[in-house]
Amino acid sequence: MIGICNLSNISLRHDPESKSEIVSQLLFGETFSIIEEVEGWSKIIIDDDKYTGWISSKQFEILESEIKQRETAIVFPFVTATSIKGNIMIPAGSTLPNLTGNQFEINGITYHLLQENLKYAIDSLSKIAVQYINTPYFWGGRSPFGIDCSGFVQTVYKQCGVQLKRDAWQQAEQGSLVSFLEEAVCGDLAFFDNDEGKIIHVGMMLDNNKIIHSSGKVRIDSIDNFGIMNMDEKQYSHKLRIIKRMV
């Protein structure tokens, strides 16, 4: 069965219980396959990034017809849609199925956007990214109301029509290697590791010495060949491992 997120967002959890760790979020309009069901919980695999986890069976609909076209919601921090069910906030980065003009439909319910949805090209990455400045860090988050490091770059890229994987270590396996920091350009992703060599953080380069990333909040810091220099604390916060170009 195919489900669709018809709420602003749904928490994706590691285990089928409300106390379990939130590992990611589904945003409005994103679809998924249900692979297991148990006691009010559904184990799913998300169509876009193939991420797996558990969601409450009370928080989605079964999709009754095929989605032929998908647009990404761009208006920041959210666009409001109205339907017979009332108003709903649709966060930036959400999916608008079969959008025609300013309306779309899910399972026979017509939604009307109260603002025009915008479109951005890949050269708008920095314009989109800086909108998230001061968004609080939230483990597993993917929305303008709370976002983690890999969720941040994934959502920014999605708004420009490029699908990245979910976790930083997965994203580090995508794209092509940038050999030197001096060759980095806006939109390149920088990855950072711990003492064991595990990728634990990612941010997006604004140029070859500035990076925007989610650490405590979405912020802009300096970067050099060692890593990120936290501009507030005047010390290194993350150790640079590699830089990858996604487009």
Q: How confident is the model over 52-93, as pLDDT tens digits? A: 999 999 999 999 998 999 999 999 999 999 999 999 999 999
H-helix or E-strand spanning residue 240 = strand 235-245
Pick the CATH number of 1-118 from 3.30.390.10, 2.30.30.40, 3.40.50.40, 1.10.443.10: 2.30.30.40
* CB of 182 closer than 8 Å to CB of 164: no
Catalytic residue among 5, 149, 160, 238: 149
Residues 175, 154: contact at Cβ < 8 Å? Answer: no
Q: Rounded to 5 degrees, what are φ and ψ at 51?
A: -75, 145
How is residue 183 annotated by DSSP?
Answer: G
> Can you read off the two tokens belonging to residue 20?
């379990």
Looking at the predicted structure, is the pLDDT value of residue 103 above 90?
yes
What is the residue extent of each domain of the chain? Answer: 1-118, 122-245
CA distances, 245 to each of 109, 117, 135, 178, 207 (Å) = 40, 28, 25, 6, 13
pLDDT on residue 72: 96
> What per-residue confidence (pLDDT) applies to 118?
84
Look at residue 119 in the predicted model and tell me its pLDDT: 82
Which one is the CATH code of 122-245: 1.10.10.10, 3.90.1720.10, 3.40.50.300, 3.10.450.50? Answer: 3.90.1720.10
Q: Read off the pLDDT band of 120 (50, 70, 90).
A: confident
| Annotation says 213 is catalytic | yes
pLDDT for residue 18 = 97
Q: Which of the four pLDDT bands, split at 50, 70 and 90, describes residue 121?
A: confident
C-alpha span between 213 and 190 (Å, rounded): 10
Among 157, 169, 79, smallest CA distance to 122 is for 157
The pTM of this model reads: 0.96
Q: Which residue has the higher pLDDT, 234 or 113?
A: 113
149 flagged as catalytic = yes
Is 201 among the catalytic positions?
yes
User: Which entry of 5, 160, 213, 238 is annotated as an active-site residue?
Assistant: 213
